[in-house]
Structure 1
Amino acid sequence: MRVDVLIQGYPGRAVCHGALGWSTIALLRGAGRTALIDVGAFGVRAPLLKQLRAHGVEPDQVTDVVLTHAHFDHAVNFTLFPRATVWIGQDELQWAAAQPPGFDPLPELYVRELAQSPRVRRIQAGDAVLPGLQALAAPGHTPGHLLFYLDGQAGDVLFTGDAAKNRAELLGMDVADTLDRAASRASLQAIWDLWRRRPGTLLVPGHDLSMQLDARGQPEYVGERHAGIHAWFGESLETATPIDLCCGPQAGLISRHIQPETPK
């Protein structure tokens, strides 16, 4: 399987406007399959289509959509791929479908469609989803969250979804958002055990750049971060203020300690 990250996840949270929802989307191709690992939120639709076509893929050529969990920023765009089989954890979908409408990241109407659609396949931890791709339990962020481990000839790849959203969670062994903090910490330890199992394994997190372990066993980013906003603060559309959201001195960011939210 060839792996390409189409959309970079971003390790941040909006201060005033709720979740950014900038999650990672990866493309897998091989063995007659064209698959996406998570599919992102509404706002990513245009760049997702652009990236797919840049890789020679049209939406109706996607054969499989593999979801780590049911939150809006990872799941809603499954509707864009009408010929794809959609894979999601049995426990995750059962839990999500049982939740009443609320002020949480579950997209109620999309979860309802997932629960009813004949294109959906419900899977368990340990199941082989695609050739070489195995589902593994990683509860905490949501009760039925799955991660996916690709055993590849060119190297293994670990897709963690929001069981490990970013490098800070992996290093700090704690998470910013979870329904069960103890379960999330146990899932982080399981992720580390898998990551260390084979040298060179690529870890693709839910909201960050991909990473590999360096010679000291520390996470090292693979690739370069691209993130920014154009804002119209002036009196015409011709004048836009670029805001660089990449880390580093060129961004001019101010670092400060943020107290994590109390888990629900």
Structure 2
Amino acid sequence: MEFELLFPGSVLYVSGEIDAPTSSAVLLKDGERTIIVDPGGFPSLKALESALGKAGVAPEDVTDVLLTHFHLDHAFNTMFFKNATIRLHKNYATRNYKAFGPIIGQMYSMVIESWSRVEPFEAGMLWDTIEIVETPFHSREHVSFLVKTINAGNVLIFGDLCDRQFRFYEMRKGMRNDAASKLALELYDRADMIVFSHDLPIIKG
């Protein structure tokens, strides 16, 4: 797989219940497939369109979209890739999205209804290059990806298992000792580059 970070994610909170986080988006290519991991939410639409344009990728060229989990800050923009197969953990189908609220629930339904093809997965390998690791600490369908790439070594896409650098440093310094931290550190040891969903990446040197 050839790796490219389309844009890093961020976290923006305003007072009260107003927030606008958006995830890091990754582009992967292997000659047969053009893959986007976590294309992000509404606030990153301009960044997504700009980055894809610079990469020479049109929305209709995208063959697959991989999701670490189905939250709108990671998955809203899936609706713009009409030719893509959406791939996410099978547990996404067990959630009652209507319970998220009369407006937010409708938005989740709109996103799901926009998908032309869905291929749920479990832990294992995709195309012999992407290892799917079940990390259901953030949501029941949450996974992390460890990707073998030709230009960046082993790239770990944490999702929201470890969303920002400071959380990772807390784990490494022993400030957290839970199961999520243990798994995150084990995955880190296998990676050359770490993509955080809401922060800049780290390249191990």
Measured against the shorter chain, the TM-score band is 0.7 to 0.9
Q: Match for residue 170 of structure 1?
A: 168
**1:123 maps onto 2:121 in alignment:** yes
Shift of 1:17: 5.3
**1:31, 1:131 within 8 Å by CA — same for their partners in 2?**
no
Q: Deviations over 1:212-253 (max 9, x none)?
A: 334xxxxxxxxxxxxxxxxxxxxxxxxxxxxxxxxxxxxxxx
**2:70, 2:141 within 8 Å by CA — same for their partners in 1?**
no
**1:157, 1:203 within 8 Å by CA — same for their partners in 2?**
yes
Letter in 1 for 2:93: Q
Shift of 1:29: 1.2
**2:6, 2:51 within 8 Å by CA — same for their partners in 1?**
yes
**2:148, 2:155 within 8 Å by CA — same for their partners in 1?**
yes
Please report the TM-score for the alignment, with normalisation by the length of structure 2: 0.86
Moved more, 63-72 or 42-51: 42-51
Matches of 1:61 and 1:39 in 2, distance apart? Answer: 14
Matches of 2:34 and 2:142 in 1, distance apart? Answer: 22
Shift of 1:118: 4.7
Greater per-residue helix proportion? 2
**1:72, 1:107 within 8 Å by CA — same for their partners in 2?**
no
Q: Match for residue 41 of structure 1?
A: 41
Q: Larger relative CO (CA 8 A, sep 6+): 1 or 2?
A: 2
SS at match of 1:5: strand
SS at match of 1:162: coil
Shift of 1:11: 4.7
Letter in 1 for 2:46: A
**1:90, 1:123 within 8 Å by CA — same for their partners in 2?**
yes
Aligned counterpart in structure 2 of residue 192 of structure 1, from 171, 181, 185: 185
Matches of 2:158 and 2:113 in 1, distance apart? Answer: 23
SS at match of 1:10: coil
Summarize the Cα distance change of 1:113–1:13 in structure 2 as closer, same or farther, 3 Å threshold: closer
Q: Match for residue 89 of structure 2?
A: 89
Summarize the Cα distance change of 1:131–1:80 in structure 2 as closer, same or farther, 3 Å threshold: farther
Matches of 1:9 and 1:50 in 2, distance apart? Answer: 15
SS at match of 1:101: helix
Shift of 1:108: 4.3
Q: Match for residue 5 of structure 1?
A: 5
Matches of 1:79 and 1:116 in 2, distance apart? Answer: 5
Shift of 1:153: 4.2
**2:3, 2:150 within 8 Å by CA — same for their partners in 1?**
no
Q: Deviations over 1:112-152 (max 9, x none)?
A: 653794501110012x2344012110111111201111123
Summarize the Cα distance change of 1:114–1:14 in structure 2 as closer, same or farther, 3 Å threshold: same
Q: Deviations over 1:77-114 (max 9, x none)?
A: 111001111001001x1233x2433359x654434653
Gap runs ≥5 in structure 1 = 175-181, 215-264
Q: Percent identity?
A: 26
Matches of 1:89 and 1:170 in 2, distance apart? Answer: 24
**Equivalent residue runs for 1:1-80 within 5 Å:** 1-11=1-11, 13-16=13-16, 18-80=18-80
Q: Return the index of the structure with the highest Cα Rg.
A: 1
Number of residues of Structure 1 aligned to a counterpart in Structure 2: 201
Please report the TM-score for the alignment, with normalisation by the length of structure 1: 0.68
